[in-house]
């Protein structure tokens, strides 16, 4: 069971990070990409960041 918790945490980290980067680029806060200023990337990134954060919280919460 610890292996699954570790694997889920390892997968949740990049999911959260990429989601936050997409939101920041979509909102024109983080420049330097073709995604900068395209609001659709913020729309794609928000659920991705929420899913990554929720997964990290859920697998690491105390029981």
Q: What is the pLDDT of residues 3-58, one digit of tens each?
A: 988 999 999 999 999 999 999 999 999 998 999 999 999 999 999 999 999 999 99
Question: Can you give the pLDDT at residue 1?
Answer: 78
| Cβ atoms 7, 61 nearer than 8 A | no
Dist CA 34 CA 49 (whole Å): 20
- Other Cβ atoms within 10 Å of 4 Cβ, number: 9
The confidence band for 2, taking pLDDT boundaries of 50, 70 and 90, is confident
- Residue 63 pLDDT more than 80? no
CA angle 9, 29, 14 (to 5 degrees): 15
pTM: 0.87
The confidence band for 62, taking pLDDT boundaries of 50, 70 and 90, is confident
């Amino acid at each position: 069971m610890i292996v699954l918790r570790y694997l889920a945490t390892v997968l949740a980290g990049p999911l959260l990070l990429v989601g936050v980067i997409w939101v920041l680029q979509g909102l024109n806060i983080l420049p330097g990409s073709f995604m900068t200023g395209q609001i659709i990337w913020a729309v794609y990134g928000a659920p991705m960041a929420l899913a990554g954060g929720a997964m990290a919280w859920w697998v690491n919460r105390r029981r």
